[in-house]
Structure 1
Amino acid sequence: MVTRREWLLASGAVAAALALPARSAFAQPARTVKVAIGQKTIAPNLVNLLIGEGLGYNAAEGFKAQFMTVGGVSNAQVAIDRGDSDISTGVPSFALPILAKGEWGKAIHFYQYTYPYKWDVAVKPESTLTSYEELKGKNIGVPDFAETAFPVTKNVLRSLGLDPDRDVKWTAVGTGVAAGVALQRGAVDALAYYDTGFGQIEGAGIPFKMLPLPKNVPMVGGQFLMALRERIAKDRDLMVGYGRSVAKASVFLAASPRAGARAFLKMYPEAAPRGSSEEDAIKSVLLATARRIKLYDPPYAGAKIGSINPEEFRIEAQMNDMKISSFDAFLTNELIDEINSFDREEIKRQALAYA
């Protein structure tokens, strides 16, 4: 488990993080909101967090976003704790152990930007493996040990009665196409990755097949936005504004994935495969995001976009034998009604008319 002290020791990585200011054709508002993202590079899996800048949704709320890729998810949490960011991405697999130890700081999750379940395990097309249970004794590749596929897949194996620390071997194989190449060359027996990562591998023409998801896969592994509680109290409109921008971007993407891909590439043309045409670049983003876009709306009847179901945290804590009596200091839905105060149909019309 990662301790709070270890997170603070990792703060040097935050200080050295590469800040990537998003580009926009709109006049820039006076305020800048720093958003720390717990991965090493800008990629299509972040699309609903990013394109609100290029579409003018951030400007409409009175701010400009500055996105900082800080490495791992633990570093994104450090950025919040130290005040290096205004908002950070967060995942329960790294945060819940801290909460269980009673060492949780002053950050609180206020918006869920991707819902479970987005991970799979893939094998080579000719592999004889047919189930997660058959992974016992095998070498499973993950992009990085600081990336969410690692702890989430461990939780799934644990739910099947396997000991993920003893029954399998784990190997970090890199992200994107590099992960697919590791599987293709037999460096690992299987690859645990998330939806947009597999989309990148598919776009590179690397063949694979997914193992069937176990029945009743646990609803864990959501991804969240968090901020300091005192910051939410002080700058509530700002936090609501960014949440609303992400919600609008999510609706925009669902209405027209192609328009969302074009908006993303206008902001980050360097994210396109090297040497690709505009059409091929758009296709690469569409392949990467096809599965993810389906996870922007909550899978719970009557729930509003961005709302957080604490049951996801309870399930993950229980799976890992964590004793947590209350999640009141860990999450809030108090901003959700305000975040959802926009015309979804108008956003859909914008997406369909996007040039």
Structure 2
Amino acid sequence: MAVTRREFMMASGALACGLALGSARAQTAAGLKKLKLGVGLKSMSPIVINLVVGEILGYNKAEGLSVTTQALGTNANVQVAVDRGDIDFGVGVPSFGLPVLSRGEWKQSVNFYEYTYPYKWDVAVLPKSDIHSYADLKGKRIGVSGFGATDYPVTRNVLQSMGFDPDKDFKWVAVGGGVPAGVALERGQIDALAYYDVGFGLIESAGLPFRLLPRPPKLPLIGGQFLETRRERMEKDKAEVIGVGRAVCKASQFILANPKAGALAFLRMYPEAAPRGSSQEQAVEAIYKAIGRRIKLYVPPYPHAKMGSINVKEFETEAAMNHWKIADYSPFYTNDLIDAINDFDPAKVRSDAMNYR
């Protein structure tokens, strides 16, 4: 799905409000460089847990940094904010960036760390639904969290790879994210819900029933998510960019070693993420369930690849599926910082995680 000029203009207009809503929770200290990281969410969610808990765990501070995370609403908003320099770092999403690259308009930004690898999306139906495969979805109403979210273009791509026409064979319905998406499915407002791993975890924690359809064979490895920044920052503040990547890499290792400790750290930063009326133990369990599917995707699915390294085949596959003609991907990403980002003692991070209280 290409992002039109009009959509980018609309995203630009939405930034002024979104940038004013940055989290005030970051524990800053004198002498730390303060940076802003944008995510394409309407409110903070454990989907980005490994991007944010480095602040409370001290990993940002160890790099001389304090990072404030801002929920900017959509991935397009984030892309515009990074390109304009309104934020220092953002979440890069190929389904929004590759069309820009194919038009020869990609100029300012570069993806330098893959913090979540493919594949994280599924399609769910009610337990008693007569839909049992992706092929059974033809003619049905498929819910997505929103048309500016990644679950929409990625699911379209998968169905298109199976020979369907995404525009003619299905009706797409925006139902919102989190529990409201599960409610829409339960109430029959949609026949199926295309959503991501952490989102399904939140729905499951709320006690709403669903059944995941079996994934089609040869599922394309697309839909990874990345840290991106302006190329100018890469050149002038290289150590700073490495520091942000290293903090995320450490946080990912921490969560992998002790997911419940990661959940507790996230709740200390964002206590409103706890289910209403829950105890701390119940809240930690809810976040743990939400991230259970996601944390496996912190590790590259490629043999001998270092955490955070980017495989260009993901971009090539997505471009081919959408008929985007791209001759050179080098302006879009770099692996030049991966060795430096991974230059820390993972055993020490794992030990910290196991002893976290």
Per the normalisation by structure 1, the TM-score is 0.98
Secondary structure of the 1:245 match is helix
Instruction: Assess if the C-alpha contact under 8 Å between 2:124 and 2:210 holds in 1.
Output: yes
Post-superposition offset of 1:2: 1.3
Determine the structure 2 residue equivalent to 1:125: 127
Shift of 1:4: 4.3
Residues 28, 59 of structure 1: 8 Å contact kept: no
2:217 — aligned with what? 215
In 2, Cα distance between equivalents of 1:90 and 1:248: 20
- Partner residue, 1:270: 272
SS of the aligned residue for 1:328 comes to coil
Q: CA deviation at 1:104?
A: 1.2
Alpha-carbon distance in 2 for matches of 1:22, 1:342: 26
Matched, 1:21 2:24: yes
Q: Determine the C-alpha separation between the residues in 2 that align with 1:345 and 1:263.
A: 19
Q: 2:325 aligns with which of 308, 323, 326?
A: 323
Q: Partner of 2:282 in structure 1?
A: 280
The amino acid of 1:2's aligned partner reads V
Contact 2:159–2:165 (Cα < 8 Å) also in 1: yes
1:166-315 map, 5 Å: 166-315=168-317
Partner of 2:50: 48
1:72-104 superposed Cα distances (whole Å, 9 cap, x missing partner): 000000001111001010110111111111111
Q: Which portions of structure 1, spanning 4 or more consecutive aligned residues, are displaced by more than 4 angstroms?
A: none
**Are 2:91 and 2:226, in contact at CA under 8 Å, matched by a contact in 1?**
yes
- Contact (CA 8 Å) 2:26, 2:66: kept in 1 or not? no
Tell me the secondary structure at the aligned position of residue 341 of structure 1.
coil
Is 1:113 the counterpart of 2:142 in the alignment? no
2:4 aligned residue: 3
Counterpart residue number, 2:13? 12
Q: How far did 1:28 drift?
A: 4.9
Counterpart Cα distance in 1 of 2:350 and 2:143:
39
SS at match of 2:53: helix
Q: Is contact 1:132-1:211 (8 Å) kept? A: yes
Q: Percent identity?
A: 55
Aligned mates of 2:333, 2:163 — CA distance in 1: 30
Cα RMSD after superposing both structures: 1.0
CA distance in 1, matches of 2:6, 2:176: 26
**1:236, distance to aligned residue in structure 2 (A):** 0.5
Code of the aligned partner of 1:334: D
Partner-residue secondary structure (3-state), 2:208: coil
Deviation at 1:11, TM superposition (A): 1.1
Say whether the 8 Å CA contact 1:141–1:171 is kept in structure 2.
yes
Scaled by the length of structure 2, the TM-score of the pair is: 0.97
Question: What's 1:103 paired with?
Answer: 105
Code of the residue aligned with 2:286 in structure 1: it is: S
